Amino acid sequence: MLNVNSPTIQYRIHLILPNEPVNKISISLPLVNNDVQAQYIATRILKSAREDLQLQVNINYVGIQLEAGDIVTVTSPNYGWTAKPFRVNKIVEQFSSDGAVIAKLTLSEFNSAVYDDVSITQFQPAPNTGIIS
């Protein structure tokens, strides 16, 4: 649900689990001067906040070539994942006990549906109140 007459955007209530508290987030977008752009950004932030699966893995030197924001896939028979997409949040270069370079990755679940476009219209101000300009 979206209320375009106020700076508040409410996420669809049917996606909240039973007994889940309503969480509020306040964001400031000082470089955005268009309400449509601000609504797109806020919607993406709200949708991505629902993805809460995080993972830490150690990989060989190949991981050093990755950058934060890259999308990688993880396959794990233990969890039933086959090429499950994750976004790289943090990379820490380390040396193993045998002197090999390894990369410790912090990953968060990636869902491309977060970036689906939603129908947003330009804010229309109230009609003129009769005050002469």
The sign of the dihedral angle between the CA atoms of 27, 32, 35, 41 is negative
Same-domain status, 108 and 59: yes
Residue 5, SS3? Answer: coil
56 — phi, psi (to 5°)? -120, 130
Residue 118 maps to a domain: no
> SS3 for 58-118, per residue?
EECHHHHHCCCCCEEEEEECCCCEEEEEEEEEEEEEEECCCCCEEEEEEEEECCHHHHCCC
Do 67 and 28 belong to one domain? Answer: no
**Same domain (yes/no): 42, 61:** no
Q: Which residue has the higher pLDDT, 26 or 86?
A: 86
103 and 65 fall within a common domain:
yes
Least confident of 22-26, 45-49, 111-115, 117-121: 117-121
Q: Which domain holds residue 35?
A: 1-50
pLDDT tens, 77-125? Answer: 999 999 999 999 999 998 888 888 999 999 999 988 887 776 776 666 6
> Helix or strand or coil: residue 9?
strand
Decide if 126 is inside a domain. no
